[in-house]
Chains A and B, each alone.
Chain A
Amino acid sequence: MTKLLDKPFKAFTIYALIILLVSIPVYFLVVDWIWVTEIDDHHEIAMDRIEGSFKEAYLSGQELETILNSWNMLQPNSSIVPLKGTIASPDSVYEVTKYNSYEQESDRFRGLQKVIQIDGQAYLLNIETNVEEAYETVFAIGFVTVVLYGLLVFGFIQLNRKISKAVWKPFDQTLSKLKSFDLSTNKEVIFEPTDIEEFEELNTTISRLIAENVSAYNQQKAFVANASHELQTPIALLKSKLDLLLQDEKLNATQSELVNAIQIPLARLTRVNKNLLLLARIENSIYSDVEEMDFSEKVGNSEELLQDYIAEKMLIFKKIGSSICHFQCSKFLAETLVNNLLSNAIRHTPHNGEIIVEWGNSGFSFQNSGKEALSQDSLFKRFSISTTETTNSGLGLAIVKEICKQNSWEVSYSFADSFHNFSIDIQKF
């Protein structure tokens, strides 16, 4: 994933690179053209002056020859030689690469030759100037361009960072608020006001969306709580009527068995309903009577209550406490948590299986033997079906998770060496 500001930044950088690359030959051509034009102009002027000077001097004979000799000897860039016969292009601009004995390298020369008349005799005047080497120019321009490009990119990065930090600050704040938002905690989200119109609009929209969701969530919660509350009386009556029916002496064996068979789904209905009410109560944070708990004591009580079920399935039950496990929790919730985890383990362990409860000062875990790993995603969700067993209310682990959430504990599931492991980390983080 790329950041929003990095996208135009990348395009800008590539565009700048292309332009600068193209600029290298363009600069070179322009500079070379100016250079050559200037030299040619200079040659023309110099030539006119030389010609004019010679005309005004009225030199002739021996004197002229001496001057021309010393001219040709002392002036490195120009020469005046007598013209014998005719040449193809008497007045011409030319370019030549010659070996420069002073610099000991080949140099490019720009030259101008012209036929002038001195003392009635035709002479060929020739002026040459060393032009900067083409490859040297290209190298210099290229170097400057690369340096400038580097500066440009560096500037872009710095500006990008600065702008991104300043401009996107309200957006980042909104994002972090949204990340920490949890529908079930009932906490209101308040966004800081910003002077950027788009962000302000975003915040307003999100606030409205959250408000709608919270209200829908609360309505749903209230609905579940009310529904299960309303179901309590009919369930109580059903149970009551069945008890009375059982007392009927005219009941035959088949009918009694039917009555007993009804008790089983009724027990499940009772459990589901009770758990839904419990979940609603935990969510509403009704249990705030926090006191100091000792895990080994809680698990001992739970074991005593459930030992018949452990014995019935002939399970091996082991308790391993590496150090004392104390925690702050509502007594009722602590008992519910331990009972739920232990009865869950008993229900899902095959006959002759094993249950290991371990605890230490950082938390505790319930392990039970099993065949294959359970689905992590749906395990703690309500009514997620992980087994075909009918007694499973589908809410036991949802309650465990909710209790852990209330206490800011971390509950996790893992499967290793044919053991399911539910561990709870009670260290606040």
Chain B
Amino acid sequence: MKILIIEDEKELASDILHYLSGEDYRCETASDFATAKEKVSLYQYDCILLDLMLPGGDGFEILNHLRSQNKQDGVIIISAKNTLEDKIKGLNIGADDYLAKPFHHSELAARIHSVIRRKQFDPSNLITQNEIRIDFLSRTVHIAENLIVLTKKEYDLLLFFIGNKNRVLSKSALAEHLSGDLADMFDSHDFVYAHVKNLKKKLNEQNYGGYLKTIYGTGYKWEI
């Protein structure tokens, strides 16, 4: 799957590229307005990460250009501006998601995963990860035909893990995913343990593959 990273801060672009490289993504970067516009016109991407403030132009114009050509590439705006106006404007023009900087790469990866899944033509709205089957419409999880009843947070965590497989996820990244940007108001994120523990217990009861690993002192990893 192809991803275009439009970001003028080259360090950040290369970090994103690095983080996503483990997945079956092919990433390209564009660091200014002209290159970005050229690339989106010429090629088709599964997901475009779009910074709004670019040398040479406004990120919104690229989004406009894309939608005016009737291209249906998934777009996630990554912006330092973080104003509600920008967010609403972006989503109205046709962005699929909006992520404020600074963000955890794991959060970005989960959002990309979700955008691509939504864009892919799949009438059943299912994803399967070995024996685990997730239905997005009904928000239910099955392991070998057995329904697992998860709380909203456990369900969110499961999707987050699957969107970041084979990655070490820190507790603060998980907390931020669950509480949004309110998480950085607190020091202690111990509640994450409780949710992960419950999720693990419920999955274990149905004998899943034991993918969810605790990494001592760091966090968790969904190992496939």
Report whether B182 and A267 are in contact in the complex, using a CB–CB cutoff of 8 Å: no
A311 to B104, CA, bound (A): 25
Q: Does A253 contact B (CB under 8 A)?
A: yes
Further pairs besides A237-B15, A243-B19, A393-B185: 6, Cβ < 8 Å: A233-B12, A236-B9, A237-B9, A237-B12, A305-B180, A347-B186
3 smallest A-B Cβ distances: which pairs?
A236-B102, A308-B191, A256-B218
Question: Which residues of A, 304-318, contact B by the 8 Å Cβ criterion?
Answer: 305-306, 308-309, 311-312
A305 to B185, CA, bound (A): 12
Report whether A246 and B180 are in contact in the complex, using a CB–CB cutoff of 8 Å: no
User: Which one of B11, B16, B178 contacts A308 once the chains associate, using CB atoms below 8 Å?
Assistant: B178
Report whether A271 and B217 are in contact in the complex, using a CB–CB cutoff of 8 Å: no
Contacts of B12 in A (CB 8 A): 233, 236-237, 240
User: Which one of A232, A238, A289, A390 contacts B187 once the chains associate, using CB atoms below 8 Å?
Assistant: A390
The interface bits of chain A over 246-289 (1 if a CB of B lies within 8 angstroms of the residue's CB, else 0) are 11000101101101100110011011001001000100001101
Q: Does A298 contact B (CB under 8 A)?
A: no
Q: Does A389 contact B (CB under 8 A)?
A: yes
Q: Does B201 contact A (CB under 8 A)?
A: no
Contacts of A287 in B (CB 8 A): 84
Q: Does A326 contact B (CB under 8 A)?
A: no
Q: Does B138 contact A (CB under 8 A)?
A: no
The stretch from B35-43, B62-70, B167-175, B205-213 touching chain A is B167-175
Report whether B187 and A264 are in contact in the complex, using a CB–CB cutoff of 8 Å: yes
Contacts of A306 in B (CB 8 A): 179, 182
Give the number of residues in A that approach B within 8 Å (Cβ atoms): 51
Q: Does B124 contact A (CB under 8 A)?
A: no
Report whether B15 and A343 are in contact in the complex, using a CB–CB cutoff of 8 Å: no
A residues neighboring B (CB under 8 Å)? 229, 232-233, 235-241, 243-244, 246-247, 251, 253-254, 256-257, 259-260, 263-264, 267-268, 270-271, 274, 277, 281, 286-287, 289, 305-306, 308-309, 311-312, 330-332, 339, 343, 346-347, 389-391, 393, 396
A279 to B129, CA, bound (A): 45
Contacts of B168 in A (CB 8 A): 246-247
Report whether B186 and A274 are in contact in the complex, using a CB–CB cutoff of 8 Å: no
Contacts of B215 in A (CB 8 A): 256
11 contacts between A and B (CB under 8 A): A240-B19, A243-B15, A243-B105, A243-B106, A247-B19, A259-B170, A277-B82, A281-B83, A305-B182, A308-B191, A312-B188
Q: B36: shortest Cβ distance to chain A, in Å?
A: 18
Report whether B218 and A339 are in contact in the complex, using a CB–CB cutoff of 8 Å: no
Identify which of B82, B153, B171 gathers the most chain A CB atoms within 10 Å of its CB. B82
Q: Does B190 contact A (CB under 8 A)?
A: yes
- Specify the chain B residue showing the minimal Cβ separation from A390: B187
- Specify the chain B residue showing the minimal Cβ separation from A272: B184
A236 to B167, CA, bound (A): 19
| A306-B182, A308-B191, A347-B185 known; A239 vs B170 contact (CB < 8 Å) | no
Please tell me the size bucket of the interface on B: 35 or more
User: Which one of B18, B182, B195, B219 contacts A244 once the chains associate, using CB atoms below 8 Å?
Assistant: B18
A266 to B165, CA, bound (A): 25
Q: B157: shortest Cβ distance to chain A, in Å?
A: 12
Q: B219: shortest Cβ distance to chain A, in Å?
A: 8
User: Which one of A243, A246, A271, A281 contacts B184 once the chains associate, using CB atoms below 8 Å?
Assistant: A271
Report whether A343 and B182 are in contact in the complex, using a CB–CB cutoff of 8 Å: yes
B residues neighboring A (CB under 8 Å)? 9, 11-12, 15-16, 18-19, 80, 82-85, 101-106, 153, 167-168, 170-173, 178-188, 190-191, 195, 215-219
Report whether B191 and A311 are in contact in the complex, using a CB–CB cutoff of 8 Å: yes
A391 to B179, CA, bound (A): 16
Q: A111: shortest Cβ distance to chain B, in Å?
A: 109
Contacts of B103 in A (CB 8 A): 236, 239
Contacts of B179 in A (CB 8 A): 305-306, 308-309
Report whether A240 and B15 are in contact in the complex, using a CB–CB cutoff of 8 Å: yes
| A247-B19, A271-B184 known; A253 vs B217 contact (CB < 8 Å) | yes
A166 to B219, CA, bound (A): 77
- Specify the chain B residue showing the minimal Cβ separation from A246: B168
Contacts of A331 in B (CB 8 A): 84
| A268-B184, A305-B182 known; A244 vs B83 contact (CB < 8 Å) | no
Report whether A257 and B217 are in contact in the complex, using a CB–CB cutoff of 8 Å: yes
Report whether B19 and A244 are in contact in the complex, using a CB–CB cutoff of 8 Å: yes
Contacts of A232 in B (CB 8 A): 80, 101-102
Contacts of A233 in B (CB 8 A): 9, 12, 80, 101
Report whether A391 and B15 are in contact in the complex, using a CB–CB cutoff of 8 Å: no
User: Which one of A243, A274, A286, A391 contacts B104 once the chains associate, using CB atoms below 8 Å?
Assistant: A243
Contacts of B11 in A (CB 8 A): 237, 240
Contacts of B80 in A (CB 8 A): 229, 232-233, 236
Contacts of B184 in A (CB 8 A): 267-268, 270-271, 274, 391
Contacts of A259 in B (CB 8 A): 170, 218
Report whether B186 and A309 are in contact in the complex, using a CB–CB cutoff of 8 Å: yes
Report whether B185 and A260 are in contact in the complex, using a CB–CB cutoff of 8 Å: no
Contacts of A240 in B (CB 8 A): 11-12, 15-16, 19, 102, 105
Report whether B15 and A241 are in contact in the complex, using a CB–CB cutoff of 8 Å: yes
